[in-house]
Amino acid sequence: MRKRTYKIAALAGDGIGPEVVREALKVLSTVEDKFGFHLEVNEAPVGWSGIDETGKALPDNTLELCRASDSILFGSVGLPDRDASIPKEERPERAALLALRKEFGLFANLRPVRLPSELAHACPLKAERQGDGIDMLVVRELTGGMYFGQPKTTETLDNGENRAIDTMIYSTSEIERIAHVAFQSAQLRRKHVMSIDKANVLENGVLWRDVVTQVASGYPEVTLEHMFVDNAAMQFLLKPTQFDVVLCENMFGDILSDEAAALAGSLGMLPSASLGVTSGEKTFGFYEPAGGTAPDIAGKNLANPIAQILSAAMMLRHSFGENDAAAAIDNAVGAVIAQGLRTGDIFNSQDANARQVGTTEMGDAISEAIST
């Protein structure tokens, strides 16, 4: 019988990208053997590695490869020292990241934020605010709102002053489809959705609240609450354990998901998935760690590969339906953390059980935990 085969475009990018993507590919090849499917992995340049090879942050061949693949495993792009040397529309984050989101209609961004009890020290909140552990999923709309709305321009007025314009736009269908993702995710979790808006000030907020409330009626087992974004920013710090699924429009989600990330102690622990429309059984997805290229630690074997490895697990689950393999990766990460293995970002010298390791050793340990 022919093995189930999935095509992955692996775009490592810049900074720590190549180091952490290498570890994720190592882990994927371990589960591939164990769970009896085949991953056809093709690597291609993106970001500054794309510019250096072809002059473009998203080279034509890289885009073609993505189109011919079932999913993208992405590292990260951008180098602060070099970004300013080229026009902003050619810079890696705009020219590659935003372009790929648009190209593949990646409208739903999922960021699970978990703080395992062994890493309580890495959380900036006091122990009593952490309760029995923080475990939330931020569902962010990714292709609409202020980041894409037109007009988007800077113009010079008659008096010589500059004026910048960004436009926030959402239609009913855009809100509906992201709300469905949130409610479906909540069905598999603790069955609670907190929808974030600014309905007291923004027209967009009023529409957002109406549409989300209508969608909720199709999910009677899920409880819906609404919260203004300014209060949500505060509640994340005061009582993060009240959140299960947090549903946000694009800009609010961008900001709140980074705030939530801080609760987990390190960007190096946080995976993400960006999903397009499901067609038949297939959901094209783009999987990347929450952090950036971390130039301060790049090339030193210091980066935490766990965010990238958990992103690969999300790919197996959301795009390929390989739930057992995904769970094996999640469990292996939990096991090495319980064993005390720590990269520098999550190391606590006060913890007698903790042992500091490098990027490669962490990837090896996770692979080994899967095979045994």
Q: Among residue numbers 37 through 76, which ones bind ligand NAD (CB under 6 A)?
A: 76
Q: Among residue numbers 351 through 370, which ones bind ligand NAD (CB under 6 A)?
A: none
From candidates 83, 118, 244, 249, binder to ligand NAD by CB under 6 A = 83
Residues classed as catalytic: 147, 198, 230, 254, 258
**Is residue 97 at the binding interface for ligand NAD, with CB under 6 A as the rule?**
yes
**Is residue 93 at the binding interface for ligand NAD, with CB under 6 A as the rule?**
yes
Phi, psi of 308 (to 5 degrees): -70, -40
Least distance from ligand NAD to the Cβ atom of residue 14, Å? 8
Q: Between residues 95 and 196, which has the closer beta carbon with respect to ligand NAD?
A: 95
**Is residue 89 at the binding interface for ligand NAD, with CB under 6 A as the rule?**
no
Q: Between residues 198 and 342, which has the closer beta carbon with respect to ligand NAD?
A: 342
Choose the stretch contacting ligand NAD; rule: CB under 6 A; options: 78-86, 145-153, 166-174, 193-201: 78-86
Least distance from ligand NAD to the Cβ atom of residue 20, Å? 6
Least distance from ligand NAD to the Cβ atom of residue 242, Å? 27
**Is residue 296 at the binding interface for ligand NAD, with CB under 6 A as the rule?**
yes
Least distance from ligand NAD to the Cβ atom of residue 171, Å? 26
x/- map, 245-264, ligand NAD, by CB under 6 A: --------------------
Least distance from ligand NAD to the Cβ atom of residue 363, Å? 12
From candidates 135, 174, 288, 322, binder to ligand NAD by CB under 6 A = 288
